Amino acid sequence: MNFRQFALNNVKRNARAYSAYFLSSVFAVMVFFTYAVFIFHPSLDIPGLRKVMGAAVGIAYVFSFLFVFYSISIFLKSRNKELGILTILGAQKKQIRKLIFLENILIGIAAIVIGMICGLACAKLILLYGANILEIKLPFYLPLQAMGLTAGAFFVLYIVLSFSILAFIRQKKALELLMGTSKPKKEPKAHILLILLSIGLIATAYYFSSKSFTYMKEALVSGIMGIYFFFTQFCVFLMRLLKRNRSFYWRGTKLLWVSEMSYKLKDNARMFFMVTIVIIMASSAISLVHYMDYETKEAYRENPFAITFSDREGKDWASGMKKIDLELEKAGLTYEKVISKSIWIHGGLHVIKESDYPQLAKLLEMKVSHKLKSREAILISPESKLENSRSGQQIEQELKEELSVHDLQIVQRIDKTIELYNAFVVVNDQTYQQIEQKQREKNQAQQNKANPENISIYYFVPDWSNQKFPRSDSKQAKLSKVLEGIAHEDGHVKTRAVSYLEKQKEHSMMSFIGILIAAIFSLATGSFLYFKLYSDLNDDQRIYQMLSRIGLSTREMKWTCTIQMAMLFFIPFIVAGLVSVSVSVLQVFSRSSFQAQGMLTSSLISITGFFVVQLVYFLIIRALYLKEMNKVMVESMH
């Protein structure tokens, strides 16, 4: 028997020991391959989709690397004794390293093949779901590119991991290997400076989260570091406080599970950290998708006009308007329209003349105020969206500065929307002409030949309510697409229905990707915990068998194990849930009430969904774990 056969037989004979690591590897390959099948689909030539999916594949690959690395490190830790025996029997370090390398490559190749086979089965379901979400046909195809990418990427991953793992084995002596996991553990200790650092970093992360999105990178870095030190230091400190409380600690099985958890919290700190980050990322992905959908619907409701036709040049706008009128009349739709001239002076600020204002005021049910004097102005802007928002306050400040440049004084504020994301200022006709002349001179100085005046025609169609969302196959959507096409040569046509449906399509795509990422991360958290419990099973069985001989009942064992498993499953979830919800609450206070409901609601929905999934995982894995533990109890043997 040569060395390669020895490595192959070793894998076959220790199937139980290798199974958890192998299944973890298969899962990682399957997830990556499923994404690759979707991204390389020939029908998915949507602008921006490949880039977004490429980023998702990158995240999946990085996560796969961490997941497989964590799995193999736990797996090798459980095999230390076996490697120690081989060393005593005369195996050289070179041979041990070669054995581990060959075993890892064999498992890797098998995982790649099985993972892609399982991925093909899942890919059909994913393509069906994706076709339904994106409203396009996604027939099944032979994914040769996806196969090549997956095989190449994961073969490189297993080669890199094999060499990196060898560096750890090289440093260990035979006695250390023989001791295996039975080596006595030192009592976990927490450092007060690191505890304070974790609190400081988490507080810093919350501070940056309450600011604008420009500080998101700082919030992420400080938050991730703070969570890491929270699990490695702060949790250990809390368990030590519990131990000092003798009235609590020295009572029933609490003595058993508290003492065990103080060690398990320290041992599993990195796993807790990874699971927490995974849940936060997945929850954030779902929350973002829900929030974007909410924001799009609110924007649709806020838009009073079904059609907006704009012509910057002002040459042949009448012909474009006639085409729109003709199409609406053909469809038997009644409509009202307002022709308005405006001057764009800064950002989203437009100036309109007082003589055009009464028509707009009538359609939008706004009050027509007294006649404006020179330099007096009426500001039409959705104040309710800006008053509680830091970003909104910044926009308000910019508006004030721009108004002061043109020496305009606001005499009335109207909380209405003419165009989304734009504010309008009404001035008398004389002031309007002065501003127009000033803008014309400014354009000439910059050698800009563009006309400073923009002509807009706003169409109000009673049958197309902004309180009812259109479907892609509705008459409104079909006619809106026609309108945007026919008047393109004469000017720019924007319809409320098409804008909404395009945004919804983007969000559907993001939703599909977000749900996939969330599903992957959700399955991964369960796999992490299952793999950890499975790798510790032999040690736990040995401990509880000894305890059962001195009087520990099966009922007490089940209660103790359940508490410990619940802490392993739900501590990361509770931390992740608190972080996600509290960040959403901070965003609520730092943003407007328009955005508040969507952010907080979507965050609560995603956290609730994760709790249900985590609870199902817990109940299934608890049943399997207790079944194995029950086999070694003295009561069960009689």
What pLDDT score does 578 carry? 84
Give the residue with greater pLDDT, 612 vs 416. Answer: 612
Does 309 have pLDDT greater than 80?
A: yes
Give the residue with greater pLDDT, 397 vs 43. Answer: 43
Q: Pull the structure tokens for residue 243.
A: 């131990």
Residue 630's DSSP bridge partners are none
Q: Pull the structure tokens for residue 53.
A: 């999916």
Give the residue with greater pLDDT, 166 vs 117. Answer: 117
What pLDDT score does 388 carry? 43
Q: Pull the structure tokens for residue 119.
A: 């991925």
Instruction: Report the C-alpha dihedral over residues 549, 551, 557, 563, rounded to 10 degrees.
Output: -130
pLDDT-based confidence at 17, cuts 50/70/90? Answer: low
Contacts of 368 (CB under 8 A, 6+ apart): 357, 358, 361
What pLDDT score does 302 carry? 82
pLDDT cut 90: percent of the chain above it: 3
| pLDDT per residue as tens digits for the range 1-15 | 566 666 666 666 666
Tell me if 391 sits within 8 A of 212, measured CB to CB: yes
| Mean per-residue pLDDT, 120-136 | 78
CA distances for 486 relative to 308, 325, 336, angstroms: 14, 12, 20
| Mean per-residue pLDDT, 512-541 | 73
What pLDDT score does 413 carry? 80
Give the residue with greater pLDDT, 16 vs 606. Answer: 606
Does 551 have pLDDT greater than 90?
A: no
The mean pLDDT value of the chain amounts to 77
pLDDT cut 70: percent of the chain above it: 76
Does 113 have pLDDT greater than 90?
A: yes
Largest CA distance in the chain: 103
Tell me if 225 sits within 8 A of 214, measured CB to CB: no
Give the residue with greater pLDDT, 568 vs 76. Answer: 568
| Mean per-residue pLDDT, 140-158 | 88
| Mean per-residue pLDDT, 59-87 | 70
| Mean per-residue pLDDT, 471-489 | 81
Distance spanning both ends of the chain, measured CA to CA? 44
Domain ranges of the chain: 1-184, 305-499
**Is 613 strand, coil or helix?**
helix
What pLDDT score does 387 carry? 46
Q: Is 181 exposed, middle or buried (0-12, 13-18, 19+ CB in 10 A)?
A: middle
φ, ψ of residue 541 to 5 degrees: the values are -60, -40
d(CA 488, CA 478): 16
CA distances for 564 relative to 200, 568, 571, angstroms: 29, 6, 10
Give the residue with greater pLDDT, 422 vs 155. Answer: 155
Tell me if 457 sits within 8 A of 338, measured CB to CB: yes
Residue 128 corresponds to which amino acid? L
Closest CA to 581 of 284, 285, 274, 292: 284
Tell me if 634 sits within 8 A of 548, measured CB to CB: yes
| Mean per-residue pLDDT, 99-111 | 82
Q: Which residues of 273-306 are buried (b: 16+ CB within 10 A; e: fewer)?
A: bbbbbbbbbbbbbbbbbbbbbbbbbebbeebbbb
Give the residue with greater pLDDT, 174 vs 568. Answer: 568
| Mean per-residue pLDDT, 410-419 | 80
Residue 412 corresponds to which amino acid? Q
Lowest mean pLDDT among 103-117, 174-188, 264-278, 486-500: 174-188
Does 382 have pLDDT greater than 50?
A: yes
pLDDT-based confidence at 112, cuts 50/70/90? Answer: very high
What pLDDT score does 314 carry? 58
d(CA 213, CA 595): 14
Contacts of 365 (CB under 8 A, 6+ apart): none
Does 414 have pLDDT greater than 60?
A: yes
Residue 354 corresponds to which amino acid? E
pLDDT-based confidence at 598, cuts 50/70/90? Answer: low
| pLDDT per residue as tens digits for the range 181-197 | 555 566 667 788 888 88
pLDDT-based confidence at 114, cuts 50/70/90? Answer: very high
Q: Chain-centre distance of CA 404, in angstroms?
A: 42
d(CA 620, CA 598): 33
Give the residue with greater pLDDT, 454 vs 515. Answer: 454
What pLDDT score does 389 carry? 45
Range from 83-87, 333-337, 414-418, 481-485 that averages highest in pLDDT: 333-337
What pLDDT score does 391 carry? 46
